[in-house]
Structure 1
Amino acid sequence: MPLKMLLFALGVIAFGYSPYLPSLWWILCLLPLFLCCWYWPRLWYGAALVAGIAWGIVAGHQLQQQQLPAEFVGRDMVVIGQISGLPERDSQRVRFNFRVQSISTSSGEPVAVDHFPQVLQLSWYRPRTYGSRDTSDKTELPSLVIGDYWQLTLRLKQPRGFVNPAGFDYQAWLLRQGVGATGYVVAKKDNRPITPTVTSFHWDDWINQRRHNLQQWVVQHTDSSERGILVALLIGDSALVEKVQWQRMQQTGTSHLIAISGLHVGFLALFGFYVGLLLGKCVQLLWHRCPALMIAWASAIACAAFYAALAGFNIPTVRTLIMLSVFYASCLLRRNLRVIDIFCWALVLVVMLDPLAAYDMGFWLSFGAVGLLLVYFSGRLVVKPSSAPWSGFTLKDMVIGFIRSQWVMFIGLILPLSLLVSTVSLVAPIANAIAIPLITFFVVPLLLMGAAVGDAWLGLSELLLAAAAKAMELLAVFLDGLLAATGSWASPVVAFSPSLLLLLSLSVVVLILPRGFLPRYLGIAGLGIGAVLAFLVPAPIKEDLKITLLDVGQGTAIVVQVGARTLVYDTGPQYTHSFDAGSAIVAPYLFAQGIRAIDYLVVSHRDMDHAGGMNGLLERVEVGQLLMGEPVPVVSSNNNAPSSHSCHSFPAWQWQAVQFRFLVVPETARNNANNRSCVLLISYGDQHIVLPGDIETRIEHQLLYTDQVPESLALVVAAHHGSRTSSGTLWVQRTRPRYVVYSAGYRSQHGHPHPQVQARYEAVGSQAINTALAGAVVFRWRHGELQAVERYREQARRYWYGF
């Protein structure tokens, strides 16, 4: 039975990576297979795998049906609905989920609710006043309360995310949240709260209101620097966690503790069990036949379910809740279940409830950690010194067991972490040895008790919260000291080749297997050899020149690789206070390539769609030299941030057979930020590439008149994302690029690339590529010729890209 369940789950997970969504009629072709299983029972294993794939197909069609129809994209729609989820607010906008109740067009024509998504994710931006010298906008964003009804004029589009190597699939995340469309509130006088004629109760709104109240309790009653982490530990909402805190926890391998983990749910279930047992004993005084254990089991499940709900039912908490429920249900029915059966039931139910759960890192880490502990600890014979019930459970035995569990998870999760985030925390065992007991048995109980007391005993509540905050501050000091003592070796960047990955996987298996199967020294030797090859032996270079244009929306971020040397041209935009392209898109891509440091960082000019991610990138990656078209403030917690130089006076240089040169723009012509852009010319034999930033036609003409731009370029990135103020007729006709790439946002309000610009490049025979449609684009040169052009949205296609 466990093998069949594992095969079913494998089928669901595997289909989640399918590039296309087949018709539901294909499921009928599977019926003969199930009929054959009655005559050949061994076919049930294949049938379980196929059944998982069929479940994935059905779930895919359900996700497709909840998407916004194409006819409503970009149109103003008047929607009446209800605020749901926790709104996220910053200085410029508030983002929230909106549950649809009724829809009409801007002309008042009603739209059937059945043909419209049930949940929308919306942004309400602060109004901007253009042309005013007073940049301080005193217009307040509306106060949105969970459960309130509003009438809003919206402009919507289908869910879409950036597609990059090693990037986060935002579209898959939206699908998993049940969001069928994204958009923003159009500034209209008719946007107002309303009193509905018919209301309905939603359990998730009641939970979210409790989560909001707890969030405000923490925010209003402590000014600790760690209050964002306290909120995450209490309700699983990490929106208030600072970027520096995230990086600290990731580098020390303790990020799994920031949000509510399965361990916290298990702890609360244990607390609920003993409270229920005490209550059951009291009930037995009045009703002797009442089994106290039944009340204890029900109390444990209730406490675990409530805490999982506070966490927003993330995957680790759902996994723990299912495992506890199955275990207590088997106790109630007096059935014997093996631990592996409980594990498989949790796995199957999680992928059935969330077929795209494999796109959540918590899925792999949660089930991977539990699976490792089961393999290492279950089924092992333990010699006890005596027959006493508590023999073998002394403090010494528990400490040894805890150390062994941390060692097993550290060894076993090295490879999953290297594949998921391209970094491994070497100090994780030391950090977790302190952080896990402190958070699980001290901080979380204090938070729960303080929240339970609340306003009924405000003094005690604030005291408990202050104690939890002080403990987290001391933990932060310890983790910072640990990182300072170990330096860059605390969390090295790793990118394993397939052969090296196989060697390390076999070594880990040897170390985890029980003694007697294979000698342990083989596993230790394999890990040692793998570490030497990964960190000391450079990976072979497959191409002479590689240029990657990352998909960052309305912005630019380009990575140029020549052998072991790396240049980054622009860092993309800053989307919110805590999210920017430099740290969230460029850095993960570099890590996935095994790049620990870059030689040159070029920031063409100070516009936020080019320089917005600079500080975020500097915090995560070491930079040799920083070159700028105009001064941009460097605000980074990295003490080794490089000094900046002007790119306009920087000399040319050469890496192997590739030459780099900044084209000279007369200082008198740099009359605005766009025209102060760094224009970089890359030459590889007779292959020439131009990265022009946002220069306008005036600068283009200056460069052409001074014969700085070669004719017949191999590649040009369209200046200013394809704006009609750039890519003039003379520039296009003289350069005649083989490829032109528009780095623009999907359905951007700026309308880039402009149709006139597209027509000009099309007239000279250039092949156009838009990152909004193609995702990240990779150009590879070898032996003096362009060998490959890869469009990542096609190369790593998922079936929901076609929704």
Structure 2
Amino acid sequence: MLEARRPIVGVCAAIAALCGVLAVHALPALPSGVLVLALAGLGALALLLPRLRLLGWLLLGFAWCAWHAGIALDARLPSELEGRDVLVAGTVDGLPLRRDDATRFVLRIEQARLDGDDLPLRGRVRVAWYDGAPEALAACDRWQLLLRLKRPRGLVNPGGFDAERQALERGIVAVGYVREAEVDRRLGARAACIDRLRESIAAGIASRVTDAHDAALLRAFAIGDTRGLEQGDWEVARANGIPHLIAISGFHVGVAGLFGVALAWSLWAACPRLGLRMAYPLVRAPAALLAASLYGLLAGGSLPTVRTLAMIAVVAAMRFGRRGGGGPHTLALALLAILAVDPLATLAPGFWLSFVGVAFLMLALGPVRGRLRFLRELGLGQLVMTVALLPLSIAFFGEASLVGALSNLVAVPVISFVIVPLCLLAVIALLLLPAAAMLPLALAAAVAHVQWWLLEQAAHWPGAHWWLPESEPWTAALAIAGALWLFLPRATPARLLGLLLFVPLLWPSRPPPGAGAFEALVIDVGQGLSVLVRTRGHALLFDAGARYPSDFDLGDAAVLPALHALGVDRLDRFVISHGDNDHAGGAATVARAFPAAARASGEPGRLAIGADACRAGEAWEWDGVRFAMLGPAEAAADVRGNDRSCVLLVEGRAGRLLLPGDISRRVEGDVAGAAGAGPPLAIIVPHHGSRSSSSPALLAALHPVIAVVSAGWRNRFHHPAPDVVARYAAIGAVLVNTADAGAVHLAFPADAPPRIVARERERQWHYWREGMRGSPAPVAAASTSSQTASAALL
């Protein structure tokens, strides 16, 4: 009886420890070091009492995660060193990414100096080397570099990617760029480094496969090298629900493990005397672990890889210990192993997709016998994964694929049982006999080419991209409980009622503005501008942020996710104020997503997309809200550049919003005269707060009550200018900057003056979030307090 209960106890212990870790991630600030120590001690005592063991696991999970998080935050670059030039020595960690504008890589710092003094800065730094990065820069090289650094800080928007959370999870302590200086030099290379071998294999594949895209796919399938894949490739993958197959998945590692088992069987079959020393059943798990571990190293050690390796290691230990254990027990021990090594891995979406997906497969796919077992598991498995992972996909990425189950029916067997084995053979050949790699690479490239063509066709099917509005975290947990109910054993009554638990996630409550009211979202696009204006039944987008030479597109990275998160499935108008990149760079991406939107611009000739010209005097009304174009004036034909910006005034019953683009004081007087008197006004500060704009005459005429600056954190233009900030303060306007606050939500009710509803950086506050300028960040205080626990536990 005791032996039968152990698997259940192990599963419960793993779940309790995980709940403790999640409790840390739910906190706005980390607890003090003394409290962490106390909880760790109480957890250790509780483990000694049978009735309190689950509580002990929970407390230990909490304390362990809080301690790790404190160490990670303490390792970040001190705020006072931001913008300073730091001389560092370190090793290139991972594979450098070369683009036309820059070479990007991660440097693991081993030594840092500032003005000749040593700095206690260690860890991984994400670096960009612009204009002149040497071709010799390679994985595992040691370099001395002069870096301009800042703390990890990302854009914060509804539905947006959380770069600060990822930085914590991946151990990134700073980001920066190389300063061209005489001190920059190569120091040598590490003697033994797996990334150099990975880079050599990637080069071998690229030189033997003629089609560059096919070569990029094979590098991803073989060693997890996704540097050759473009944004469009990831869009195709997401539309088909197969990103887990492109980057090395746990299933691929399992295939490598089966290869190790087959090799061991061949050796024991060829030499039966080996069985006298060790029985073959005891050899299988270690052989699988060895082969899977070698492949996992070549694959870059992704989280699904580590999870699979942990499960294989648990099975191997059980085999040698003569102990039994089913799939749930094995998964629970693998979970405990990962939490013990790195509890911050729970911040990664891959952690949840991996463990939850495997858990549901174990639940739904019971033991099946017969010739059709594989087909049943493949078909039912895709249905299970689609339904079970739907809440997590929406919570993490804001979208799901309704064609993913069908695409995976073809992609899983083709990639896992054809392309990946061929790639593995090619990798072995490249290591032992390079000439023999041509055949498996040619076959794998041919299959991958056809497979990808099919996926590109499926990516255009209805439902390939299913976007859902942002909802509360509890709705995802409720939907997962509904999926669990659905896939319980057949004897469970009313299983279909589990579908009802998906309703809050799929149809979140988001009441629109009333008649005569509107709302606006100033999207955080860094040094640029993008503003969404919504009435009861219409939506307008003003500008779309920048697009950089690296192909990083704010239209795709910030604007579209924000629109989808707010439930905007149609744009009625798209205004691109003028042709500068920081306003129009993301316009093409937005136009592709909303092709039916009417487009207008102050400089249509400078755009990559078609648009009509904005004309002063044009006006229209939506749901009791009046929209009036105040500029540019047709009479000002000699006006160019920033002063050609479209200027839009939105007026509800009790409030107004002015969107002036990048106009300067040269035309601000005309704009103020055209705006005239009216209800209280909020203004998007012209030209990001440049000294050439926001003249005293404009502010005296309009007297805005709210002013929003859209600027980048520590931008090189030093926007907003101090004298501009002082002008708004002098008239009593509430001034907020997206660089500090993230996206800014504004409400313009029909019966009340305009107000700031939310600052996104505060709304999404977590202990890893960087603070706002001028106010103490809770994360900084919590990080400092963790030093006590760190010192004591070490």
- TM-score, normalised relative to structure 1: 0.88
User: In the TM superposition, what is the alpha-carbon distance from 1:501 to its structure 2 partner?
Assistant: 6.8
User: In the TM superposition, what is the alpha-carbon distance from 1:604 to its structure 2 partner?
Assistant: 1.3
User: In the TM superposition, what is the alpha-carbon distance from 1:797 to its structure 2 partner?
Assistant: 0.8
CA distance in structure 2 between the partners assigned to 1:712 and 1:597 by the alignment: 29
User: Residue 73 of structure 1 aligns with which residue?
Assistant: 82
Query: In the TM superposition, what whole-angstrom CA distance separates every residue of 1:332-361 from its partner, at most 9, and x where no partner exists?
Result: 111112221211122223234333333322
Query: In the TM superposition, what whole-angstrom CA distance separates every residue of 1:388-412 from its partner, at most 9, and x where no partner exists?
Result: xxxx241x23212221111222222
CA contact (8 A) 2:604 2:610 kept: no
Tell whether 2:731 aligns with 1:755. Answer: no
CA contact (8 A) 1:280 1:291 kept: no
Match of 1:355 among 343, 366, 373: 343
Letter of the 2:153 partner, please give it: R
The alpha-carbon distance between structure 1 residues 784 and 724, as it changes in their structure 2 partners (threshold 3 A), is same
Tell whether 2:504 aligns with 1:494. Answer: no
Letter of the 1:220 partner, please give it: S
CA distance in structure 2 between the partners assigned to 1:707 and 1:285 by the alignment: 96
CA distance in structure 2 between the partners assigned to 1:621 and 1:449 by the alignment: 45
CA distance in structure 1 between the partners assigned to 2:174 and 2:510 by the alignment: 43
User: In the TM superposition, what is the alpha-carbon distance from 1:144 to its structure 2 partner?
Assistant: 0.8
Tell whether 2:688 aligns with 1:715. Answer: no
The alpha-carbon distance between structure 1 residues 351 and 616, as it changes in their structure 2 partners (threshold 3 A), is farther
Letter of the 1:298 partner, please give it: P
User: Residue 284 of structure 2 aligns with which residue?
Assistant: 296
CA contact (8 A) 1:450 1:462 kept: yes
Aligned positions of 1:478-557 closer than 5 A: 478-484=454-460, 486-487=461-462, 489-495=463-469, 508-519=483-494, 522=497, 526=500, 540-541=511-512, 544-557=517-530
Query: In the TM superposition, what whole-angstrom CA distance separates every residue of 1:192-241 from its partner, at most 9, and x where no partner exists?
Result: 3245xxx865x6xx111122122222333322434333222122232321
The alpha-carbon distance between structure 1 residues 542 and 317, as it changes in their structure 2 partners (threshold 3 A), is farther
CA contact (8 A) 2:574 2:599 kept: yes
User: Residue 12 of structure 1 aligns with which residue?
Assistant: 21
User: Residue 138 of structure 2 aligns with which residue?
Assistant: 145
Aligned positions of 1:188-207 closer than 5 A: 188-194=181-187, 201=191, 206-207=193-194
CA contact (8 A) 2:213 2:229 kept: no
Higher relative contact order (Cα pairs below 8 Å, separated by 6+ residues): 2
Letter of the 1:41 partner, please give it: P
User: Residue 453 of structure 2 aligns with which residue?
Assistant: 477
CA distance in structure 2 between the partners assigned to 1:634 and 1:615 by the alignment: 9
Q: Which runs of 5+ in 1 are unaligned?
A: 127-138, 383-391, 636-641
CA distance in structure 1 between the partners assigned to 2:133 and 2:146 by the alignment: 18
SS in 2 for 1:571: coil
CA contact (8 A) 1:688 1:710 kept: no
Letter of the 1:595 partner, please give it: V
SS in 1 for 2:138: coil
User: In the TM superposition, what is the alpha-carbon distance from 1:523 to its structure 2 partner?
Assistant: 5.3
User: Residue 659 of structure 1 aligns with which residue?
Assistant: 626
CA distance in structure 1 between the partners assigned to 2:291 and 2:630 by the alignment: 66
CA distance in structure 2 between the partners assigned to 1:20 and 1:238 by the alignment: 35
The alpha-carbon distance between structure 1 residues 414 and 274, as it changes in their structure 2 partners (threshold 3 A), is same
Aligned positions of 1:349-428 closer than 5 A: 349-378=337-366, 392-394=369-371, 396-428=372-404
CA contact (8 A) 1:172 1:356 kept: no
SS in 1 for 2:247: coil
User: Residue 606 of structure 1 aligns with which residue?
Assistant: 579
Tell whether 2:125 aligns with 1:125. Answer: no
User: In the TM superposition, what is the alpha-carbon distance from 1:376 to its structure 2 partner?
Assistant: 1.2
Tell whether 2:234 aligns with 1:246. Answer: yes
CA distance in structure 1 between the partners assigned to 2:297 and 2:525 by the alignment: 34
Match of 1:735 among 691, 698, 702: 702
Q: Which runs of 5+ in 2 are unaligned?
A: 1-8, 770-778, 781-794
Match of 2:156 among 154, 159, 163: 163
Query: In the TM superposition, what whole-angstrom CA distance separates every residue of 1:452-510 from its partner, at most 9, and x where no partner exists?
Result: 212865554233223222212212222233344x33x3333223867987986565344
CA distance in structure 2 between the partners assigned to 1:194 and 1:170 by the alignment: 31
CA distance in structure 1 between the partners assigned to 2:177 and 2:679 by the alignment: 42
User: Residue 628 of structure 1 aligns with which residue?
Assistant: 601
- TM-score, normalised relative to structure 2: 0.89
User: Residue 212 of structure 1 aligns with which residue?
Assistant: 199
SS in 2 for 1:574: coil
SS in 1 for 2:493: coil
User: Residue 563 of structure 1 aligns with which residue?
Assistant: 536
User: Residue 798 of structure 1 aligns with which residue?
Assistant: 766
User: In the TM superposition, what is the alpha-carbon distance from 1:271 to its structure 2 partner?
Assistant: 0.9
SS in 2 for 1:773: helix
CA distance in structure 2 between the partners assigned to 1:190 and 1:542 by the alignment: 58
The alpha-carbon distance between structure 1 residues 315 and 754, as it changes in their structure 2 partners (threshold 3 A), is same
User: In the TM superposition, what is the alpha-carbon distance from 1:446 to its structure 2 partner?
Assistant: 1.3
User: Residue 385 of structure 1 aligns with which residue?
Assistant: none
The alpha-carbon distance between structure 1 residues 708 and 11, as it changes in their structure 2 partners (threshold 3 A), is same
User: In the TM superposition, what is the alpha-carbon distance from 1:423 to its structure 2 partner?
Assistant: 2.2
The alpha-carbon distance between structure 1 residues 443 and 39, as it changes in their structure 2 partners (threshold 3 A), is closer
SS in 1 for 2:650: strand
User: In the TM superposition, what is the alpha-carbon distance from 1:522 to its structure 2 partner?
Assistant: 4.6
Identity %: 32
CA distance in structure 2 between the partners assigned to 1:144 and 1:781 by the alignment: 53
SS in 1 for 2:89: strand
Letter of the 2:689 partner, please give it: G
RMSD (Å), alpha carbons? 2.8
Aligned positions of 1:302-313 closer than 5 A: 302-313=290-301
CA contact (8 A) 1:603 1:678 kept: yes
User: Residue 260 of structure 1 aligns with which residue?
Assistant: 248
CA distance in structure 1 between the partners assigned to 2:760 and 2:498 by the alignment: 37
Tell whether 2:562 aligns with 1:589. Answer: yes
The alpha-carbon distance between structure 1 residues 218 and 661, as it changes in their structure 2 partners (threshold 3 A), is farther
Letter of the 1:557 partner, please give it: S
CA distance in structure 2 between the partners assigned to 1:593 and 1:342 by the alignment: 41
CA distance in structure 1 between the partners assigned to 2:435 and 2:467 by the alignment: 47
The alpha-carbon distance between structure 1 residues 658 and 143, as it changes in their structure 2 partners (threshold 3 A), is farther
User: In the TM superposition, what is the alpha-carbon distance from 1:743 to its structure 2 partner?
Assistant: 1.0
CA distance in structure 1 between the partners assigned to 2:589 and 2:295 by the alignment: 34
User: Residue 118 of structure 2 aligns with which residue?
Assistant: 111
User: In the TM superposition, what is the alpha-carbon distance from 1:167 to its structure 2 partner?
Assistant: 1.3
Letter of the 2:250 partner, please give it: G
User: Residue 44 of structure 1 aligns with which residue?
Assistant: 53
User: Residue 617 of structure 1 aligns with which residue?
Assistant: 590
Tell whether 2:453 aligns with 1:448. Answer: no
CA contact (8 A) 2:652 2:750 kept: no
CA contact (8 A) 2:419 2:447 kept: yes
Further displaced range: 790-799 or 292-301: 292-301
User: In the TM superposition, what is the alpha-carbon distance from 1:649 to its structure 2 partner?
Assistant: 5.8
CA contact (8 A) 1:571 1:617 kept: yes
Tell whether 2:266 aligns with 1:270. Answer: no
CA distance in structure 2 between the partners assigned to 1:496 and 1:167 by the alignment: 10
CA contact (8 A) 1:670 1:676 kept: no
SS in 2 for 1:336: coil
User: In the TM superposition, what is the alpha-carbon distance from 1:281 to its structure 2 partner?
Assistant: 4.2
Tell whether 2:546 aligns with 1:573. Answer: yes
User: In the TM superposition, what is the alpha-carbon distance from 1:183 to its structure 2 partner?
Assistant: 1.1
The alpha-carbon distance between structure 1 residues 605 and 348, as it changes in their structure 2 partners (threshold 3 A), is farther
CA distance in structure 2 between the partners assigned to 1:766 and 1:502 by the alignment: 41
CA contact (8 A) 1:153 1:190 kept: yes
User: Residue 788 of structure 2 aligns with which residue?
Assistant: none
User: In the TM superposition, what is the alpha-carbon distance from 1:24 to its structure 2 partner?
Assistant: 0.8
CA contact (8 A) 1:305 1:321 kept: yes
CA contact (8 A) 2:43 2:58 kept: no
CA contact (8 A) 2:689 2:709 kept: yes
CA distance in structure 1 between the partners assigned to 2:732 and 2:470 by the alignment: 40
Query: In the TM superposition, what whole-angstrom CA distance separates every residue of 1:758-802 from its partner, at most 9, and x where no partner exists?
Result: 111111111111111111111123333235521111121111223
Match of 2:614 among 640, 643, 647: 647
Match of 2:326 among 328, 333, 338: 338
